[in-house]
Structure 1
Amino acid sequence: MALYADLHRHLGGSVVPRILWRYFKRHDPKMAQRFPQYPVFEEFYTRKRKTLDEYLELHTLVENVQTEETLPYFIYRLIRGAYIFEHLAYLELRYTPYLRTPQYLEQSERIDAMTNIVKIVGKASQVKEYPIVISQILCMHSRLPYEVNKAIVDLAAQMKNYVCAIDVAGGDSHYGERLDEFIDLYKYARALGLNTTGHLYETSDGCYPELLPYLMRIGHGIQIPLKFPELLPEIARSNQCLEICPTTYLKTGNLENLYELKTVFDRCFEAGVHIAICTDNAGLHNVRLPFEFENLLTQDVIDFHQLQACQNFAFQHAFAWPYKKPPASLLTGLLKDKSLQRS
């Protein structure tokens, strides 16, 4: 039975390298010629980058091929792997729908085309043989104009059958000069009854306390316990969960080693701040959620008690999980009922 929840996974970074390479071999002669052998592509796709901005450039590689026609292909394989190899019962997929629309269209036409993208992702996510509860988080983007970002919020409100929240992405160092815009958009989203998360306090350049009051969860947020632990009591009172994605911080050069996260976990647990362990970009990292758990344990970043607590926090803070308890608790109940029936 699937047991885990991943609250922070980008659609663009979710495609595992071998599947993306095979797609290029079959449909993109230019990329196939650039990477004729798989190991060369895997090394390029998964290697460590110097900065978050350099790392995010890889998303454009996938966004360009995630079109209306190809999205079902990629999503089916994503779900199959998540269920069989990661044992996921719940997954929130986040992405910017505008960036999956044809670039040759005018801005207004691309805004209109976003609705179909959300529908395609929603329908493709319903795979009967792999029963995972899946919902979408629509990402505003730091490099898109206000009109597009507002349209993304409006679309999320109109399509709550597929969408559980909004986010802002694109590199947290780029929010500063447009901070008032994003505050207004988050206020607007909350007024529409939308759930909210946001990439914030991931890097030392992305620390904007002005945005914190509008977030129900915090995407990454590692700089809060590392550099601003005085904020933790209010985070705990507000019941804001941090979405921690361990491998990301190594791939972006944000941390030198995983053990640096021990301070993050210890200070959050001491303050009563909840943490959900997530993958962020499982394909770019070539690392699955169970391996994130194992790496944190084997490197003494967390203990088993903390791991189990984080696994439960993920379901507790999941925006669209339809049950009151995690699946492990539901399975325990089923097994007890069976034992009673046999007796």
Structure 2
Amino acid sequence: MALYAELHRHLGGSVVPRVLWRYFERHATDLISRFSEYSEFEDFYTRPRNTLDEYLELHTLVESVQTVETLPYFIYRLLRGAYIFENLAYLELRYTPYLRTPEHLSQNERIDKMAEIVEVVGKASHLPEYPIVTSQILCMHSRLPFEVNRAIIDLAAQNRQYVCAVDVAGGDRYYAERMDEWISLYNYARSLGVKTTGHVYETTDGCYPQLLPYLMRIGHGIQIPLLYPELLPEVARRKQCLEVCPTTYLKTGTLQDIRQLKLVFDRCFAAGVDIAICTDNAGLHNVRLPFEYETLLTYDIINFQQLQACQEAAFRHAFAWPHQQHPVSLLNGLLNVESEQFLAVQA
């Protein structure tokens, strides 16, 4: 029964350790030659890192093998797991298409190749046996030049059947030196009618209030309620939703204890700011979305009523969910119709 929406999942970090290990065994043994057995690889792949930069280095391991030829292999297994084990009805996959193009090509050739990547991901994401509504968020990157990031926005605008928004990722500490560029790029995206989110206020290095007016959702954003709660009324006024990914903050060293998130949820609920609970990098974390829900409940960070509010918020803020209602409401309507039909027959 598909019930949930996932708004923040990276394609590079979505591959679970076992699937990645099997791929390397068959096609790239040199990448796992230093591991004598799978358990060593899993420990390396999923263990916490000290900083966000160290954590993001793991993405390069997966990006190097996510090519035009291999993306259908990884996406099929991702969607199969998301449907069967996570009960997802809706999934937004985010990634930087430029980083899936061949490195030996020139910058302009790689830009031209990005459209093929988007099409391959889009077609591979539509599987009749696993009917999840999917869409892509294309990530600009803090290490890529302006020309490439602008081309990513153009690509999003030209492929609305596959792409629902743009993002900026790659390490939030690097935004400051190019802030005028990011504002210009987000202005450009909004002028084209492209929806926006962005990795900001994830760490203490990523607090950029000047970017907030250009975002429709906020990637992570936990430092707003933790350090800058005075910004919450404006976030609520703009109807911006925080994409909170609980396990991430332990894996990156951003938080030392999951219970620190209680203040995030309490202050956001009090201010009327919506939160969508997400996984970020389900493969790197070796977790699935229901596990994130269970963890928050187990540590009394939220209660069941608040969990339901977050689940409803995820559908309400989904960029490409095609229905007015979320699946539970649709299912309840279907069950009510069947019940009425049954009672009519009995009468």
Q: Does the TM-score normalized on the shorter chain lie above 0.5?
A: yes
Deviations 1:152-172 (A, max 9, x none): 000000000000000000011
- Superposition map of 1:138-287 within 5 A: 138-287=138-287
Deviations 1:290-328 (A, max 9, x none): 000000000011011110000000000000000011101
In 1, Cα distance between equivalents of 2:151 and 2:52: 26
Q: Which runs of 5+ in 2 are unaligned?
A: none
In 2, Cα distance between equivalents of 1:108 and 1:321: 33
- Tell me the secondary structure at the aligned position of residue 26 of structure 1: helix
Q: In the alignment, which residue of structure 2 is the partner of 1:291? A: 291
Q: In the alignment, which residue of structure 2 is the partner of 1:335? A: 335
In 1, Cα distance between equivalents of 2:118 and 2:167: 15
Q: In the alignment, which residue of structure 1 is the partner of 2:314? A: 314
The answer to whether the 8 A contact 2:15-2:283 is kept is yes
The answer to whether the 8 A contact 2:46-2:286 is kept is yes
State yes or no: 1:125 paired with 2:110: no
In 1, Cα distance between equivalents of 2:233 and 2:28: 51
Q: In the alignment, which residue of structure 2 is the partner of 1:87? A: 87
- Tell me the secondary structure at the aligned position of residue 276 of structure 2: strand
Q: How many angstroms does 1:34 deviate by?
A: 1.9
In 2, Cα distance between equivalents of 1:267 and 1:340: 43
Deviations 1:223-259 (A, max 9, x none): 0000000000000000000000000000000001110
Q: Which amino acid in the other structure matches residue 281 of structure 2?
A: N
Q: How many angstroms does 1:342 deviate by?
A: 1.3
Deviations 1:256-304 (A, max 9, x none): 1110000000000000000000000000000100000000000011011
The answer to whether the 8 A contact 2:232-2:271 is kept is yes
- Tell me the secondary structure at the aligned position of residue 136 of structure 2: strand
Q: Which amino acid in the other structure matches residue 223 of structure 2?
A: Q
In 1, Cα distance between equivalents of 2:107 and 2:24: 28
Q: TM-score, normalised by structure 2?
A: 0.98
Q: Which amino acid in the other structure matches residue 40 of structure 1?
A: E
In 2, Cα distance between equivalents of 1:36 and 1:76: 28
RMSD, aligned CA: 0.5
- Tell me the secondary structure at the aligned position of residue 13 of structure 2: coil
In 2, Cα distance between equivalents of 1:202 and 1:151: 26
Q: Which amino acid in the other structure matches residue 152 of structure 1?
A: I
In 2, Cα distance between equivalents of 1:312 and 1:267: 18
Deviations 1:181-210 (A, max 9, x none): 000000000000011000000000100000
Q: In the alignment, which residue of structure 2 is the partner of 1:114? A: 114
Q: Which runs of 5+ in 1 are unaligned?
A: none
Q: In the alignment, which residue of structure 1 is the partner of 2:40? A: 40
Q: How many angstroms does 1:35 deviate by?
A: 2.1
In 2, Cα distance between equivalents of 1:88 and 1:36: 35
Q: TM-score, normalised by structure 1?
A: 1.00
- Tell me the secondary structure at the aligned position of residue 85 of structure 1: helix
Q: Which amino acid in the other structure matches residue 35 of structure 1?
A: F
In 1, Cα distance between equivalents of 2:50 and 2:29: 29
- Tell me the secondary structure at the aligned position of residue 139 of structure 2: strand
The answer to whether the 8 A contact 2:32-2:41 is kept is no
In 2, Cα distance between equivalents of 1:229 and 1:31: 44
Q: Which amino acid in the other structure matches residue 45 of structure 1?
A: Y
Q: Which amino acid in the other structure matches residue 206 of structure 2?
A: G
Q: Which amino acid in the other structure matches residue 340 of structure 2?
A: L
Q: How many angstroms does 1:341 deviate by?
A: 1.1
State yes or no: 1:324 paired with 2:324: yes
- Tell me the secondary structure at the aligned position of residue 86 of structure 2: coil
In 1, Cα distance between equivalents of 2:29 and 2:282: 25
In 1, Cα distance between equivalents of 2:174 and 2:224: 18
- Tell me the secondary structure at the aligned position of residue 94 of structure 2: strand
In 2, Cα distance between equivalents of 1:68 and 1:325: 35
Q: How many angstroms does 1:29 deviate by?
A: 2.1
Q: Which amino acid in the other structure matches residue 299 of structure 1?
A: Y
In 1, Cα distance between equivalents of 2:15 and 2:83: 14
In 1, Cα distance between equivalents of 2:276 and 2:31: 36
Q: In the alignment, which residue of structure 1 is the partner of 2:55? A: 55
Q: Which amino acid in the other structure matches residue 189 of structure 1?
A: A
